[in-house]
């Protein structure tokens, strides 16, 4: 099963890399599936002499891509990103996703929000009927994070402070992440209302709910890649 998942990630990542065209400004996401996309893009740059400029969503992504000769620019220096390609921890048939398993949700959401087109690439295990099984990451400032934790506990989210090596995990922005269980709540609440509730808690920086941002989903499968486009999307 693990080998199949890796094969699906490679297939879908390499397929998505072919969406990138000359002179594009491209948002590069973060994660294991995006890794394959970036490696294929590096080969295209070498073989086709493409002239593209990228905006990164994490230090990890930038370090990998720069080794392959990919040029970067600050988001503050572009008016609009032509195309963003990113992964997801879960994405459903309603084009909603949970992101942030790698801790880059803040930059990922900012980049996606500034993009003309957003393509999510996943293996078949991450395409689901309804998001919510995977914990929802919520980025919070370290100062007073326990207040946010208590507010989420009261609402039934069962938040857990993400740790690495028995110490709090820090995002690229120097914040903490609370991984929360929304499996019950998502069935009772519209994702827009849920996001508003979370973001209105003082101390919350951003959450990993992505809705009304995704245009196309590429799903890696054993026999190829399935493409799902939002109705009315480009």
What CATH number should be reported for the domain holding residue 77?
Answer: 3.40.50.1360
Q: What would the two tokens of residue 93 be?
A: 């048939």
Output the DSSP codes for 126-187: GEESSS-SSPEEEEE-STTHHHHHHHHHHHT---EE-EETTEE---TTS-EEEEE--TTHHH
Same domain, 106 and 146: no
pLDDT in tens, 136-187: 999 999 999 999 999 999 989 999 999 999 999 999 999 999 999 998 877 7
Distances from the Cα of 165 to the Cα of 7, 168, 170, 177, angstroms: 30, 8, 12, 15
Q: Look up the domain containing 162 and give its range.
A: 136-207
Q: Tell me, yes or no, whether 234 lies in a domain.
A: no
Per-residue pLDDT tens digits for 185-228: 777 678 888 999 999 999 999 999 999 999 999 999 999 999 99
Q: Both 52 and 109 in a single domain?
A: yes
Our answer to whether residue 108 is catalytic in this structure is yes
29 inside domain: yes
Mark whether 141 and 126 lie in a shared domain: no
pTM equals 0.94
Same domain membership, residue 80 and residue 28? yes
Provide the Cα torsion 88, 90, 93, 96; round to 10°: -70
pLDDT in tens, 60-113: 999 999 999 999 999 999 999 999 999 999 999 999 999 999 999 999 999 999
Catalytic residue among 108, 139, 195, 206: 108
Query: Mean pLDDT of all residues in the chain?
Result: 94
């Amino acid at each position: 099963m693990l080998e199949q998942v890796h094969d699906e990630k490679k297939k879908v990542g390499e397929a998505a890399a072919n969406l990138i065209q000359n002179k594009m400004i491209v948002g590069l996401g973060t994660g294991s599936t995006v890794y394959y996309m970036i490696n294929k893009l590096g080969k295209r740059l070498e073989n086709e002499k493409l002239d593209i400029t990228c905006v990164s969503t994490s230090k990890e992504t930038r370090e990998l891509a720069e080794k392959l000769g990919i040029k970067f620019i600050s988001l503050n220096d572009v008016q609009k990103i032509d195309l963003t390609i990113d992964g997801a921890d879960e994405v459903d048939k309603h084009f909603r996703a949970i992101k942030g398993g790698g801790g880059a949700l803040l930059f990922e959401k900012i980049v996606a929000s500034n993009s003309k087109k957003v393509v999510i690439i996943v293996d078949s295990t991450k395409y689901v009927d309804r998001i919510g099984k995977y914990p929802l990451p919520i980025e919070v400032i370290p100062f007073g994070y326990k207040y946010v934790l208590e507010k989420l506990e009261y609402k039934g989210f069962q938040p857990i402070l993400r740790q690495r090596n028995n110490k709090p995990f820090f995002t690229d922005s120097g914040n903490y992440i609370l991984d929360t269980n929304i499996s019950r709540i998502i069935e009772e609440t519209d994702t827009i209302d849920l996001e508003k509730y979370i973001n209105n808690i003082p101390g919350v920086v951003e959450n990993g709910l992505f809705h009304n941002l995704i245009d196309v989903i590429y799903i890696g499968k054993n026999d190829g890649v399935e493409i799902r486009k939002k109705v009315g999307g480009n």
